[in-house]
Amino acid sequence: MCGIVGFTGEQSAAPILLDGLKKLEYRGYDSAGIAVMDHGCISVNKVTGRIANLCEKTKDGTAVPGAAGIGHTRWATHGAPTEENAHPHLSNDGRFAIVHNGIIENYLSLREELIKDGYHFDSETDTEVIVHLIEMYYKGDMRDALIRTTNRLRGSYALGVICSEEPGKLYAVREASPLILGVGVDENYFASDVTALVNYTRNVIYLEDGEFAELSGNSVKVFDCLGKPVEKKVSRILWDVQAAEKGGYEHFMLKEIMEQPGAVKATISPRIKDGKIVFEELKLTAKDLLRIRKIVITACGSAYYAGCAAKYALEKISHIPVEVELASELRYSDPMIDNHTLLIVISQSGETADTIAALKEAKARGARTLAIVNVVGSTVAKLADNVVYTWAGPEIAVATTKGYTTQVAVLCMLSVWFADMMGIEDENYPKYVKELQALPRMIQHAIDMNSSIPALAKKYHDSKSLFFIGRNTDYAVSLEGALKMKEISYLHSEAYAAGELKHGTIALIEEHTPVIALCCNPAIMEKTLSNIVEVKSRGAEVLALTFRNNQKIVSVADDLMFIPKVDPLFSAVVEIVPLQLLAYYVAKENGCDIDKPKNLAKSVTVE
């Protein structure tokens, strides 16, 4: 995810900005830049790649004079990772520079409007509209210009702004993207993450959504969105520097689990406009979709399980038959794929060797291709005819969490979009849209409802084997739940379709064998309940995942995890969250290296 830093004081700003940017490197980025103000002029330096390149370009900052400035690390979303797209962005008249984290959802219409008004754009980013709006609205009063500008923006933004006519001043704005002010002695700072500040000050002010700040070397003023001054409390950071690099979490995996409400929101909300699902990035027409006889989804690991989970929504809502194939199998299977097939390829990294090979194979057979990818500009994204990016931000832990949930979210949205594009009249359309919009909130509820998971982990962490069972989407989520458990805790865990147990696996159930039973689909609840009774009568210890008021399951299970009520077609996005937490806490109990499990790599670039 992008990172922001800002400094004003008496010292030279550039070396401090570069140091702050280095502290933000762990978040992942593909370009970086700084803008420094000196004697009424703003100088901008940007590079692609590492901060080291920026240090080289600016001679560790010594070549850039000035005591106030802003810096940024960019993780590309809108536009490739190039110097032009890197931040800071300058206004046409050179008087303003900005850095931005987040996504401006209405940037296309603002861009058109600004072009009509004579502004020219140097980048493909959503961010650049902001700096031109500031230039347009600035009439000698930055606060007024910021209020007018932010009134025009939809989406999420943390902004750092400098204006050459206001020497020594920094402006910081927060809306749905973190931004923290650092209070020093004769110098002040801001950053998207305390990591960048702790070397300089431990006194911080947390901005709230809708607030903005004006900083100079000796003052920090905070205002609400109407420009009224706000009294803020100065808090003291007690974390050590290393902990802060994980945003205060012990592991990246836990941080990424907790980031899921925001990641799923960033993926879903820009694609819902006026109650309609829109995929502006797709080149598929109604005619193209009506020619498709089947969808083949291919991927590896969790991305494959995301496809398994979404198959139900895709078939039910879009009425197109769906096959889900492991990429490593599909590539050597002489697959029945032709120009009436839509191949959907899923990959967080976009660099998985088997996935790339399967995509190439399908293209060679004439399939239309659509990639769901997190890393912008990756190989899969470049090869596919169509790309839908998940906006999960960089995922550092090897075990995917927000990568998976954002992939399933995109597939659920595609089911509804395909149906609508093909002219399928569905009275449930508004309900589907509402359910999709509610998913980030439901994930947060699922996190909040399961504070007992660390205690459950203490009970189950030394089990020999764990079995995950469920039916339909519950089964698909079981597959991902079992994978999470085995890859980070090294416990043997397997997922079975609940109805399959009695065809063999039940032989393995003995006194106290843990069975994790997923029961989140009311239509088939009774069936899974029978399977729970079967394993219980052979001594199994049942840990059920269900709704809080589901008395039938609550009364029969030994232990419980909960999710809020969600349409079973989309519930995989929420159901997986307690299972991720369970795997995390079991691994923690077992003293495992959670972020870097043995034998595993984040991106599997070999066959």
**Residues annotated as catalytic (active site), given as ranges:** 2, 602
Q: How far is the CB of 344 from ligand AGP (least distance, A)?
A: 13
Pairing of strands 89-90, 68-74: unpaired
Told to check if 524 binds ligand AGP by CB under 6 A, we report: no
Q: Label residue 389 exposed, middle or buried (CB < 10 Å: 0-12, 13-18, 19+).
A: buried
Q: Which C-beta is closer to ligand AGP: that of 68 or that of 345?
A: 345
Q: Which C-beta is closer to ligand AGP: that of 261 or that of 301?
A: 301
Told to check if 302 binds ligand AGP by CB under 6 A, we report: yes
Question: Interface with ligand AGP by CB under 6 A: which range of 24-32, 92-100, 299-307, 408-416?
Answer: 299-307
Among 8, 201, 267, 349, binds ligand AGP (CB under 6 A): 349
What is the CA 168 to chain-centroid distance, rounded? 35
Q: How far is the CB of 242 from ligand AGP (least distance, A)?
A: 24
Q: How far is the CB of 147 from ligand AGP (least distance, A)?
A: 42
Q: How far is the CB of 590 from ligand AGP (least distance, A)?
A: 17
Told to check if 348 binds ligand AGP by CB under 6 A, we report: yes
Q: What is the dihedral of CA 195, 197, 202, 206, to 10 degrees?
A: -90
Nearest residue to ligand AGP, by Cβ distance, number only: 301
Told to check if 386 binds ligand AGP by CB under 6 A, we report: no
3-state SS string for 352-417: CHHHHHHHHHHHHCCCEEEEEECCCCCHHHHHCCEEEECCCCCCCCCCCCHHHHHHHHHHHHHHHH
- Cβ(237)–Cβ(204) below 8 Å: yes
- Cβ(384)–Cβ(361) below 8 Å: no
Q: Label residue 118 exposed, middle or buried (CB < 10 Å: 0-12, 13-18, 19+).
A: exposed
Told to check if 352 binds ligand AGP by CB under 6 A, we report: yes
Strand partners of residue 467: 494, 515
Question: Interface with ligand AGP by CB under 6 A: which range of 19-27, 112-120, 213-221, 295-303?
Answer: 295-303
Q: How far is the CB of 66 from ligand AGP (least distance, A)?
A: 41
The answer for residues whose C-beta is within 8 angstroms of residue 392's C-beta and 6 or more apart is 259, 263, 266, 267, 348, 374, 402, 403, 405, 406
Question: Interface with ligand AGP by CB under 6 A: which range of 23-31, 180-188, 296-304, 357-365?
Answer: 296-304
Q: Which C-beta is closer to ligand AGP: that of 150 or that of 347?
A: 347
At position 530, the amino acid (one-letter code) is S
3-state secondary structure of 171: strand
Strand segments (E) across 92-208: 96-104, 155-163, 170-175, 180-183, 188-191, 203-206
Window 392-431: residues binding ligand AGP (CB under 6 A): 398-400
Contact letters for ligand AGP, residues 68-107 (x by CB under 6 A): ----------------------------------------
Told to check if 604 binds ligand AGP by CB under 6 A, we report: yes
Give the H or E element holding residue 31: strand 31-38
Told to check if 603 binds ligand AGP by CB under 6 A, we report: yes
Among 201, 267, 355, 405, binds ligand AGP (CB under 6 A): 355
Among 300, 392, 476, 557, binds ligand AGP (CB under 6 A): 300
Window 479-518: residues binding ligand AGP (CB under 6 A): 487
End-to-end CA distance of the chain: 28
Q: Which residue has the tokens 């994978």?
A: 483
Q: How far is the CB of 334 from ligand AGP (least distance, A)?
A: 23
Give the H or E element holding residue 326: strand 322-326
Phi, psi of 336 (to 5 degrees): -80, 75
Q: Which C-beta is closer to ligand AGP: that of 38 or that of 487?
A: 487
Window 212-251: residues binding ligand AGP (CB under 6 A): none
Residues that bind ligand AGP (CB under 6 A): 300-303, 347-349, 352, 355, 398-400, 487, 603-604
